[in-house]
Amino acid sequence: MKSPAWTLPYAYLKKQFERPGTYLKKIEAVARRGDFTLGKEVAVFEAQAAKILGVKHVIGVGNGTDALYLILKALGIGVGDEVITAPNSFVATAAAIALTGARPVFADVRDDYTIDPACIQKVITKKTKAIIPVHLTGQPADMKPIMAIAKRHHLAVVEDVAQAFLARYGSKYLGTIGTAGAYSFHPMKILHVWGDGGMITTNDATLATKLKLWRNHGLKTRNEVEFFAHNSRLDTIHAAIASVLLPQMPGVVKKRRSLAVLYDRLLKPLAGHVHVPDRNLCTAPIVHTYTNYVVMAKRRDALITYLAKQGIEAVIQYPTPIHLQKAARYLGYKKGDFPVCERQADTILTLPCHQYMTGRDVGQIVSVIQKFYTKV
């Protein structure tokens, strides 16, 4: 099927990369130096990011999936272990666990799309080694009770911050509260590169040293290999791009937050049709970054078609929860195991909400939604 010409698209990549001048200059400098792997710009970016987030160590890696996987490997997690996470994440969260040989164990989520601490508690066994809370959409998971459970059971907490760069919980940035944080720089993430990239944050010096080996063949020096490991480095060119973007991120987040607040306000009168999640379920004050603006809507699929006819691109993230994917069959889950997550999967939709939009665009989208529920 030919895709419609979107007037209000969800994806904004063309706009994001339409003025490549500053980046190209940096890339040219990398090419002239020839330090393509773990070059100067990687160290510059890591130091910049550590300063902004207030964390001791930042380790640039190849992508967000590897960030999760390498943390789990460096923590010694593998065959015979269990790691608890949410079933409504992007598949990479569970895949990273499975790739270590450990078993992904799911716990249901709350109205705000993040893992429910009460459900975590119920699935802890003697084999549990870690919890991966996913700060989905940019909404912080409730870190206080999660950290308390982890402390009681001696578990690591690996924060999946792929969708939540610069989001905060209490006085801290996400990714700096647990044992380590895993970020993705996929082009659709708030902080992004021109392809794949990611980073790990941690305040644990021993873990940081191990992770630097894990991302670079286990090489302690040029010719000394401590253990067999992976090659998953943040490319120098990507690090150069990320470090140009980094100072712009607070402004980007501010814009997204203001559009989301406007959406929330304008959608309020449609409460019988469109459910805006309760963003205040956390036991600490939070700052949401809205990597995705997700609501739950009655007659969701018909609404998406109606919006598309008006040139508005709404998408579903993600229509099939991980426990119901073919890849997860061996884990033995079935429909009905995670009712909140499954109900959300049937009704969620992501509306366009990004730094290239205006308040007028949001108003236009909400008026089309209103028309759908009053006329169709």
Our CB check for ligand PLP shows the closer of 64 and 321 to be: 64
CB of 115 to ligand PLP, least distance (A): 12
Our CB check for ligand PLP shows the closer of 96 and 208 to be: 96
Our CB check for ligand PLP shows the closer of 89 and 176 to be: 89
Alpha helices, DSSP H, located in 228-332:
236-245, 249-267, 300-309
Which tokens go with 180? 């380590």
CB of 272 to ligand PLP, least distance (A): 31
Residue 52 CB-density burial (10 A; 0-12 exposed, 13-18 middle, 19+ buried): middle
Closest residue to bound ligand PLP by CB: 64
Is residue 91 classed as helix, strand or coil in its secondary structure? coil
> What residue ranges bind ligand PLP (CB under 6 A)?
63-65, 89-90, 92-93, 134, 160, 162-163, 184, 186, 196, 198
Our CB check for ligand PLP shows the closer of 324 and 366 to be: 324
Residue 188 CB-density burial (10 A; 0-12 exposed, 13-18 middle, 19+ buried): middle
Report the candidate in 162, 108, 159, 82 with the shortest Cα–Cα distance to residue 322.
108
Rounded Cα distance, 209 and 213, in Å:
7
Whether the link from the prior residue into 113 is cis, omega within 30° of 0, is no
CB of 258 to ligand PLP, least distance (A): 23
Is residue 230 classed as helix, strand or coil in its secondary structure? coil
CB of 268 to ligand PLP, least distance (A): 28
Which tokens go with 361? 């665009």
CB of 298 to ligand PLP, least distance (A): 26
Our CB check for ligand PLP shows the closer of 185 and 333 to be: 185
Contact in structure between 177 and 159 (CB atoms under 8 Å): yes
Is residue 295 classed as helix, strand or coil in its secondary structure? strand
Rounded Cα distance, 89 and 94, in Å:
8
CB of 371 to ligand PLP, least distance (A): 32
Our CB check for ligand PLP shows the closer of 187 and 311 to be: 187
Our CB check for ligand PLP shows the closer of 318 and 372 to be: 318
> Regarding beta strands 224-225 and 219-221, do their DSSP bridges make them parallel or antiparallel, or are they unpaired?
antiparallel
Rounded Cα distance, 166 and 189, in Å:
11
